[in-house]
Structure 1
């Protein structure tokens, strides 16, 4: 079974990120309207190779990526050059954000697949909060333990699935590459504790990681139908809680 990812170049939004982009487009439009500035300042903490940063730059925004990996930043710069846009790349960890970037200088901060790996999630979010202007927002995307339990059970790893549910960090064992995962409640509480007003939590990749890619091959409209299904399930009161990732917007 392979996770499904559809290229934007084909005209179809990527199944794995469509729900996140729906939220980002709305928050960007709101911020542009509120500030009167068409070009917003965006920081992508742990933005890696630019999966979000480059498309945001293509929309005309000023984007800075901070990532600890020089290889990822080099790939980001190549990707940006191919797209014909400029993205500022800085090497550093979440703990370095306050030293690398000015306070109150960003309209939006992306924190995608970062909180699972940082040494101290509270300190990381506090540093990100310091980057935001009043009225700015943070986009948080994090791994969900309930999905990990579901996926381990589907793979026949029943003891590991049970361990995920019992472990306070949502891990399935010592060999689990993800240091921690977050439930919907835990994410909202973490944002509130670091000075944000958390918004609605959406499920990301509810079905996409369960659908074999072969089901989309040669089926006209199948990818778009799966995107529509993901969008419908994102805020479902039950289905969102079994999504591979959870997405929440926090406002300052």
Structure 2
């Protein structure tokens, strides 16, 4: 095999890998260490909790379906406030971590290993709250999933949708010197499957939700400051100050559009 053909073969294999929905069995333990146990993950949880609190979404006795719930950290927060949690994930490794997390708190959870596309049959009912966090960007056809998510929300219920933000991604790429290809991802991360496949435009997502009969009540950018501030500055002012500023700025235009993630709380019209 020539060098050129070997390169072509590698690229073809990488492309084939990235044209299917991502399963995180191989990264579950790493995610636990490098995302959820870090200031980035903690800031994400703080932002989500503040949004639910600000909108006074009822949790006592609420039925919650966490689709692609991963390790279940945020679902557990809702469960501690009286919500009844059903959780699914395509990764059995992730699901096992979620089960262990709930078991450690002696809180029941209805967990099933299935893909987002299978939720119609595995969880056929409507729920008061549906969570879908950091999932859409890993799907080969993310917009096709929105009607399936919408169908699980009862009239008057809530969809909590967090996704990888196209604008924040492009800004980060520019700041890293990829001025020639800001829409692309780090080639190494892309090949290894660690970079989201489809950063999403929040305006396009909001329009799609509107067409599905939802009204976006909260639009927040997450990690608007954290990811764009130099680490030495974060260390100098302290993580608490970074979090406070990020939580404030994440609700303000135009800064919320630069967040690494966007969180929508959308209510289904009665």
Q: Quote the Cα distance in structure 2 between the aligned partners of 1:22 and 1:98.
A: 30
Aligned mate of 2:150, from 129, 142, 151: 129
Work out the number of aligned pairs and report it: 229
- Which has more helix, going by share of residues? 2
Q: Is the 8 A contact 2:140 2:197 kept in 1?
A: no
Is residue 2:129 matched to residue 1:108?
yes
Larger deviation: 59-68 or 194-203? 194-203
- 1:127 and 1:238, CA in 2 relative to 1: closer, same or farther beyond 3 A? same
3-state secondary structure, aligned to 2:78? helix
In structure 1, the partner of 2:30 is none
Q: Is the 8 A contact 1:136 1:251 kept in 2?
A: yes
Aligned mate of 1:140, from 156, 161, 171: 161
- 1:127 and 1:64, CA in 2 relative to 1: closer, same or farther beyond 3 A? same
Residues 89-124 of structure 1 show CA distances to partners (whole Å, capped at 9, x for unaligned) of: 1111111111011332x1100111111122433432
Q: Is the 8 A contact 2:220 2:263 kept in 1?
A: yes
Q: Quote the Cα distance in structure 1 between the aligned partners of 2:230 and 2:187.
A: 28
Given the two structures, how large is their TM-score scaled by the length of structure 2? 0.76
Superposed, 1:223-234 pairs within 5 Å as: 223-234=239-250
Q: Quote the Cα distance in structure 1 between the aligned partners of 2:72 and 2:58.
A: 22
Aligned mate of 1:40, from 62, 86, 93: 62
Q: Cα offset for 1:158? A: 2.3
Q: Quote the Cα distance in structure 2 between the aligned partners of 1:238 and 1:217.
A: 25
Q: Cα offset for 1:152? A: 1.7
Q: Quote the Cα distance in structure 2 between the aligned partners of 1:213 and 1:82.
A: 34
Q: Cα offset for 1:232? A: 1.2
Is residue 2:118 matched to residue 1:90?
no
Give unmatched runs, 5+ long, in structure 1: 8-12, 33-37, 165-170
In structure 2, the partner of 1:248 is 264
Q: Is the 8 A contact 1:141 1:247 kept in 2?
A: yes
- 1:218 and 1:211, CA in 2 relative to 1: closer, same or farther beyond 3 A? closer
Work out which structure has the larger RCO, using CA pairs closer than 8 Å and 6 or more positions apart in sequence: 1
RMSD: 2.6
In structure 1, the partner of 2:177 is 156
In structure 2, the partner of 1:16 is 44
Q: Quote the Cα distance in structure 2 between the aligned partners of 1:127 and 1:101.
A: 11
In structure 2, the partner of 1:35 is none
Q: Quote the Cα distance in structure 1 between the aligned partners of 2:45 and 2:181.
A: 27
In structure 2, the partner of 1:179 is 197
3-state secondary structure, aligned to 1:116? helix
Residues 36-94 of structure 1 show CA distances to partners (whole Å, capped at 9, x for unaligned) of: xx211111110101121122212221111111000000111111122222222111111
Q: Quote the Cα distance in structure 2 between the aligned partners of 1:107 and 1:207.
A: 32
Q: Quote the Cα distance in structure 1 between the aligned partners of 2:164 and 2:236.
A: 31
